[in-house]
């Protein structure tokens, strides 16, 4: 009986430590994206001709698009995961509600991805507006 209590305590502590490390990781990813987005905006505002000329002349490479979309996407993705993070309660879920719980978690992840993409597109649109190309 005593052994089960110790196992339950150790399991609870492991879940707390795991959830905190995952939350820290999400916060770090969001902060890195925020720094990248701030750096992107700093370059854009100090040298606006680079942005405007690339799109007006049609010389946009896939690498440039990744540089324009990635930092705001990573920032929104990391912060959304940080804010909506819930540690898993049971790793071996089975039974009639297991599929429903998996579906809910999958829907949440999908919504975070879509919202992050919208945030990246809105950032690019704001860059167009500040460059005077729209």
Number of domains in the chain: 1
Q: Which domain holds residue 40?
A: 2-131
pLDDT average, residue stretch 84-96: 66
In this predicted structure, the answer to whether residue 82 has a pLDDT above a threshold of 70 is yes
pLDDT of 122 reads 94
Residue 87 clears pLDDT 60, i.e. is over it: yes
Check residue 120 and give its pLDDT.
94
Cβ–Cβ under 8 Å, residues 71 and 40: yes
Q: 68 falls in which pLDDT band (50, 70, 90)?
A: confident
- Runs of H (alpha helix) within 1-134: 2-46, 48-56, 62-83, 98-131
What is the C-alpha separation between 100 and 125, in angstroms, rounded?
37
Q: What local confidence, expressed as pLDDT, does residue 17 receive?
A: 47
CA distances from 67 to 60, 98, 107 (A): 11, 39, 28
Q: At residue 97, does pLDDT exceed 90?
A: no
Q: What is the pLDDT of residues 14-66, one digit of tens each?
A: 555 456 777 788 888 899 999 999 999 999 888 877 776 666 666 677 777 88
> Quick one: pLDDT at residue 32?
93
For the stretch 98-113, pLDDT in tens is 777 778 888 888 899 9
The model's confidence at residue 7, banded by pLDDT at 50, 70 and 90, is low
pLDDT at 74: 93
């Amino acid at each position: 009986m005593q052994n089960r209590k110790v196992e339950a305590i150790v399991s609870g502590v492991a879940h707390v430590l795991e959830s905190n490390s995952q939350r820290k990781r999400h916060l770090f990813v969001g902060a890195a994206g925020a720094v990248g987005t701030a750096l992107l905006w700093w370059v854009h505002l100090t040298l606006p001709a680079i942005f405007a000329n690339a799109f007006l002349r049609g010389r946009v490479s896939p690498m440039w698009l990744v540089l324009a979309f990635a930092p705001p996407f990573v920032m929104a993705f990391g912060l959304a995961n940080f804010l909506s993070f819930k540690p898993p309660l049971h790793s071996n879920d089975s039974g009639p509600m297991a599929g429903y719980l998996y579906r809910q978690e999958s829907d949440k992840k999908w919504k975070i991805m879509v919202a992050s993409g919208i945030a990246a597109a809105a950032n690019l649109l704001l860059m167009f507006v500040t460059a005077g190309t729209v």
